[in-house]
């Protein structure tokens, strides 16, 4: 089994964080995005979506998409600690919040980054105006998240879950696009520090 990944990239960081929380080490093969290795015919023949991360199992099966990889890890390799829920209702609620963090926070941040950052010109047909509109979307979601975290310790409730990994990695990575937690967003800042103090967070963006 091996993880096809790229150090310091947002989606791989989520899997690295998840694996560290589980105490699992998997062989890694680095894919250089800036050199376009993910766009080669060889890579796409192995990984259907042509992205990272991807988990290649011993029988040759390849799992794409961060959440699918995390689900396999939790259900097939290491159920404890349960980061995706232990009951049908817990699993549904955690998936709900994780999707919210993906679609309402990570995605607009990513669009801001891809359409406004100079380093992304090689990978994206940039539309800066669109990027700035997405910045406003993400900033509004950060304000809402600050209010929500005033009511509970973690994003999906009182327990740390994959939804926290998704949100924390997004905020951490997209500093590169100028995103910052505002001084008045104390609940969000406290949560960010709380998640960032977990030992597993140290390896999320490690080289």
Q: What is the pLDDT along the chain (207 residues), one digit of tens a residue?
A: 999 999 999 999 999 999 999 999 999 999 998 788 888 988 999 998 999 999 999 999 999 999 999 999 999 999 999 999 999 999 999 999 999 999 999 999 999 999 999 988 877 889 999 999 999 999 999 999 999 999 999 999 999 999 999 999 999 999 999 999 999 999 999 999 999 999 999 999 996
Contact assessment for residue 166 and residue 14, using Cβ atoms and an 8 Å cutoff: yes
Structure letter (DSSP) for residue 81: S
102: Cβ–Cβ under 8 A, 6 or more apart, which residues? Answer: 67, 166
* Nearest C-alpha neighbor of 161 from the set 185, 192, 195: 195
Rounded Cα gap, residues 79 and 62, in angstroms = 20
Tell me the whole-structure pTM to 2 decimals: 0.95
Six-digit token string for 50: 């042509």
Contact assessment for residue 97 and residue 155, using Cβ atoms and an 8 Å cutoff: yes
Residue ranges and CATH numbers for the domains of the chain are: 2-77 (3.40.30.10), 88-198 (1.20.1050.10)
Q: How far is CA 93 from CA 90, 147, 157, in A?
A: 5, 19, 9
Alpha carbon 106 to its chain's center: 8
């Amino acid at each position: 089994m091996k993880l096809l990944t790229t150090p310091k990239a947002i989606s791989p960081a989520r899997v690295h964080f998840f694996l560290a929380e589980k105490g699992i080490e998997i062989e890694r093969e680095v894919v250089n995005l800036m050199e376009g290795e993910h766009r080669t015919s060889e890579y796409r023949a192995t990984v259907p979506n042509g992205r990272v991360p991807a988990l290649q199992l011993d029988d040759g099966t390849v799992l794409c998409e961060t959440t699918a990889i995390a689900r396999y890890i939790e259900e097939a390799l290491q159920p404890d600690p349960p980061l995706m829920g232990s009951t049908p209702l817990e699993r549904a609620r955690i998936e709900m919040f994780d999707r919210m963090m993906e679609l309402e926070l990570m995605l607009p941040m990513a669009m801001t980054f891809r359409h406004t950052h100079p380093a992304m010109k090689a990978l994206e047909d940039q539309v800066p105006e669109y990027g700035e509109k997405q910045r406003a979307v993400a900033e509004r979601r950060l304000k809402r998240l600050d209010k929500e975290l005033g009511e509970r310790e973690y994003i999906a409730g009182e327990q740390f879950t994959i939804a926290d990994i998704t949100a924390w990695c997004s905020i951490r990575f997209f500093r590169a696009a100028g995103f910052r937690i505002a001084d008045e967003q104390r609940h969000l800042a406290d949560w960010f520090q709380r998640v960032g103090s977990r030992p597993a967070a140290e390896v999320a963006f490690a080289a």
